[in-house]
A = this chain, B = another copy of it.
């Protein structure tokens, strides 16, 4: 098929963008077009390399002929997917006895011999897979050639075309090898990802005069701010300057010698090149250059590496300098990048004494004393002592301890375990599934094989971004939320066209959400307000009430507490909508399960232990997720919802009187039948009328439903008759659609994802096919009955770009996410809107 040479001489200005040549070739062509001093270059397309792998070699004589006889060349890979399994080695071509002789003349025989020997060794080992040992030790080019010839039974090739042919074949083979394939697959590269090659005339760094090689960029990889970073190695070649100690600085520098000292005009040329590239390539580039006897060659330029923070700063600066439009700045930043900015992190310079590692379940880092129980964590926090809650796995009973801790560490579970989800919601670092930990909960010790035993109160550090557990305290870097980040958030708000609210249960959450800028609170889980020790006692009295008056008495004591919660929340949100979910969890979550706790509770309530124990037992459930909770409690013990409704309305009147009117939204959880909504609505409406009459002040509110059961989604039409809004709680909805408890899935989820049973953990990325269809059905049926129905998604998925895109397309009004997911959600929403609008006006967006 392929019989003629298929290489393109970039220097002859062929347009490599029109065929598949890879990023490096394209970038080099752009540099050439900018008239930057790029050495003569030729590019081999993907097709050519594939032909080479199949044994059909192009006319390499002709290719080498382009560069002239006895020219040293370098060969480098060029793919669309540079880090995905390509051959790692860059091989120089064209070394021969003649060239060695020439080098000997220009640089002396030592340099020439060393270069030739190294070339033969590399060629033999990398290209022909010969035994490296045969080329070890103090050998000469002669000995190296002998070793090669005895192994290969043929003389070491002297002509560039033969060398090039072998090198190309070896690179093509490596690209098609199993390891490289698997690597590409694992990193999600397309199955037909291709390999191109770039052949470039070598600029000799070890030449005479001012010669050497270096790498430079004019921006900080850490902060994204302007800063000259780079190294220069006199007489160096390639990227040697980055690894070898004798390298110099670029600009004149107090700390030592610099390239600028010897060749200020070269540094100015590099500075000009970088500025040109920034404007014309619209990117901060890192430049690889060689000086040959005072002459500058730019071998390559790549996108400057950067931290999350630098990524944001660079994009924003490019837009502010009008190099790129704002929309492009917004779409350049992968949303999850922002997670790296929001949390305190371990300083890059800090020493890390890593004890063990686990799943990086919630980003950020914190140091503190080990607390093995929620109670201990609360006690430490009460004394102002930062602590890390360490548990086998967490359960709802640990919530208070989690609130009190600086970070969470669990032996079991994964990225969607209870600990992980709550930690992300609270913005706490979390490492989950640190399975090498040995916890002894009785002796209260934590052991890692081969390390000292840690006791309760010992200090450790959690790096939730990397999933590491470190011994002792570690230096931290605070998050930088001003400057470019704040600008990016403002731009996101301008660009996006779907609401972003926050899930916030406490004033602290609400304040954090406000700091990131939100459109309101989409989910306030009121039960978390009862976990405080004082209120817990009253809750328990309510649960143990023998009769209606006793129960009412306990609820009457909770009423002012709830009212105060809501007043504080409403004030913080300054008139923005707050959606309050009525009480949801099963009552047994408020009761102890161990003997000690039961005894203490019996003391506190002045009841016989046996009565407390039997009540605790009678409330236990086989499947609490599917039991007496949510609206089922609201229907069977209506007084709880009545108290909550009263607290909400009285708080509404209070803040309205103080000049900050608010329209609260009341959300009913776990609905599966329309009658549940009707019953609760009738009661809540009655309370509203009563409060309005008593206070003489009118107010409005909206009542809606949290859609968490498949049935509620299917019956959304009739449910919408009594609902102003439907908010899809995709956490529970996913559990029920799959018949899969998030708390129990950890045991096999990773195996399931690895084997491809689930494409992704459905608690992490929303299952569009199953759960998504229920959302679409619910949305469609609800809006058919009530066209102005507000639609929302609340739950972990709301922070994921795919889910946001899905909701936007389905006409949802907003998504509500935990405060620390708000920036990601806002940026993602902005990107989706920009991409959608970028479609030609007559394009069908559903295609």
Contacts and interface: CB of A to CB of B under 8 A. Distances in A.
A46 B323 CA distance: 88
A668 to B, nearest CB: 13
A747 B672 contact: no
Given A709-B737, A757-B675, A770-B710, A624 B622 contact: yes
A555 to B, nearest CB: 19
Interface in A751-796: 751-752, 755-758, 767, 769-771, 773-774
Interface in A153-210: none
A755 B631 CA distance: 14
A632 B750 CA distance: 12
A635 interface: yes
B770 A714 contact: yes
Given A635-B755, A675-B756, A737-B711, A626 B623 contact: yes
Contact of A773 (B709, B714, B744, B773): B714
Contacts of A773: 714
Interface in A601-660: 621-628, 632, 635-636
A14 interface: no
A419 to B, nearest CB: 13
A635 B751 contact: yes
B710 A622 contact: no
A676 interface: yes
Interface in A691-749: 708-711, 714-715, 732, 735-741, 743-745, 747-748
A526 B767 CA distance: 31
B744 A626 contact: yes
A828 B745 CA distance: 41
A756 B755 CA distance: 46
A658 B635 CA distance: 61
A140 interface: no
Contact of A715 (B670, B708, B752, B769): B769
Given A672-B738, A748-B635, A757-B679, A743 B710 contact: no
Contacts of A670: 739
B741 A621 contact: yes
A745 B743 CA distance: 21
A672 B621 contact: no
A395 interface: yes
B757 A711 contact: no
B741 A732 contact: no
A597 B284 CA distance: 68
A310 B368 CA distance: 80
A78 B752 CA distance: 67
B628 A747 contact: yes
A477 interface: no
A679 B741 contact: no
B710 A741 contact: no
A625 to B, nearest CB: 4
A738 to B, nearest CB: 5
A710 B777 CA distance: 13
A673 interface: yes
Contact of A714 (B744, B757, B774): B774
A740 B621 CA distance: 11
A395 B752 CA distance: 29
Nearest to A767: B711
Given A636-B751, A751-B635, A739 B626 contact: yes
A405 B14 CA distance: 88
B711 A770 contact: yes
Nearest to A625: B623
Contact of A738 (B621, B709, B756): B709
A774 B627 contact: no
A346 to B, nearest CB: 32
Interface string A664-696: 000000101101100100000000000000000
Interface string A389-410: 0000001000000000000000
Contacts of A732: 739
A735 B679 contact: no
A735 B711 CA distance: 10
Nearest to A630: B739
A410 to B, nearest CB: 13
Nearest to A747: B628
A630 B689 CA distance: 51
B748 A736 contact: no
Nearest to A675: B757
Nearest to A734: B711
Contact of A672 (B625, B628, B709, B740): B740
Contacts of A751: 635-636
Contacts of A715: 769-770
A739 B672 contact: yes
Interface in A485-516: none
Contacts of A676: 757
Contacts of A621: 741, 743-744
A739 B673 contact: no
Nearest to A710: B710
A609 B747 CA distance: 23
Contact of A624 (B623, B708, B738, B757): B623
Nearest to A732: B739
A673 B740 CA distance: 12
A757 B623 contact: no
Given A715-B770, A751-B635, A757-B679, A739 B628 contact: no
Nearest to A709: B739
Nearest to A396: B622
Contacts of A710: 710, 736-737, 739, 770, 774
B740 A739 contact: no
28 contacts: A621-B741, A621-B743, A622-B625, A623-B624, A623-B741, A624-B744, A626-B744, A627-B740, A627-B741, A627-B747, A628-B744, A628-B748, A635-B751, A636-B748, A636-B752, A672-B739, A673-B758, A675-B758, A709-B740, A710-B710, A710-B737, A710-B770, A711-B737, A711-B739, A714-B737, A715-B770, A732-B739, A736-B737
Given A626-B735, A628-B747, A711-B738, 19 more contacts: A621-B741, A621-B743, A622-B743, A622-B744, A623-B625, A623-B626, A623-B741, A627-B741, A627-B744, A627-B745, A632-B748, A635-B748, A635-B757, A675-B756, A675-B757, A679-B757, A710-B710, A710-B736, A711-B770
Give me the 6 closest cross-chain CB pairs, A-B, nearest first.
A626-B741, A627-B744, A623-B741, A711-B770, A709-B739, A710-B710
